[in-house]
Amino acid sequence: MNFLLELLVSVLIVLGGIFALIGSIGLVKLPELLTRLHGPTKATTLGVGGALAASMLFFFAIEGTLSIHEVLISVFLFLTAPISAHFIAKAHLHEHEELRGDLPSTGRPQGWSTFDGLPEGEGEERPEQAPRA
């Protein structure tokens, strides 16, 4: 492996470590749950992504093929981290109704990020379906 490739792999690992460290510090130091979610979902995801990119580049240089393991881990990570943070934020807003007053209006009658029920007249009763045999 030449020096330039080794330097690029090293830079990706160091940048990934810096992002992971910043995300971990944010998780510990930020004051409330909704702000603490940004640490692991953004910075730590970039940190793990940098380490995975370095690993893909290293093994591509050594073996000459792309490793599917790192690609699958990256896809799984970039899909699950934001979705889980979104659900945690929704659950937190549903639990703490006093926080909803500070949020901007959505223009919908259901409210922001949680389902409060349908407005009057839209929740018509549906007839019960007979159970399947």
CA distance 57 to 112: 42
Whether residue 40 is contained in a domain is answered as: yes
Residue 121 inside a domain? The answer is no
Query: 113 is written with which tokens?
Result: 């990020």
**118 lies in some domain:** no
In a domain? residue 108 = no
Residue 110 lies in a domain: no
pLDDT at 132 over 80: no
Q: Model-level pTM?
A: 0.68
Position 3 scores a pLDDT of 92
59-107 pLDDT, tens digit per residue, is 888 888 888 888 899 889 888 888 888 888 888 887 877 777 777 777 7
Q: What is the pLDDT of residues 102-124, one digit of tens each?
A: 777 777 766 665 555 555 665 55
Residue 112 placed within a domain: no
Residue 105, φ and ψ in degrees, nearest 5: -70, 145
The answer to whether residue 102 sits within a structural domain is no
Counting the structural domains of the chain, the total is 1
Range of the structural domain that residue 41 is part of: 3-96
